[in-house]
Amino acid sequence: MERFSRSSDEDLEGVIATFDQALARDPHNSRAWLDRGLARQRKGDLNGALDDLNRAIRLAPDAPAGYRARARLERQRGDTGRAAADERRATELDAER
């Protein structure tokens, strides 16, 4: 999320459009789903962000970054139970590395 923290809404639209193009070329690119989810979250599209982060996790279930990003989003949405579960999963995955 830090990558997009200084972006304006207009810049975020461009960032999202770039990820749209990347995902049209390679819909199995988990990192692009993750990054587009982060950009959508920054823009305030929390439902779209959650969809993207869920897809990133389905494509790369062993990558802790997806769970951490989704935990931040879930906390922002007020779902502390799910956020805690995702944080635990990310920690477990880190320990396995």
Rounded CA-CA distance 28/42 in Å is 23
Distance CA 39, CA 25 (A): 19
**Maximum distance among all Cα pairs of the chain, rounded to whole angstroms:** 40
pLDDT band at 4 (very low <50, low <70, confident <90, very high): low
Structure tokens at 3: 């990558």
CB atoms within 10 A of CB 70: 27
CA distance linking residue 44 with residue 95, whole number of Å:
32
User: In the 8-state DSSP scheme, what is residue 55?
Assistant: H
* Token pair of 27 as six digits: 């819909």
The pLDDT tens digits for 33-91 are: 999 999 999 999 999 999 999 999 999 999 999 999 999 999 999 999 999 999 999 99
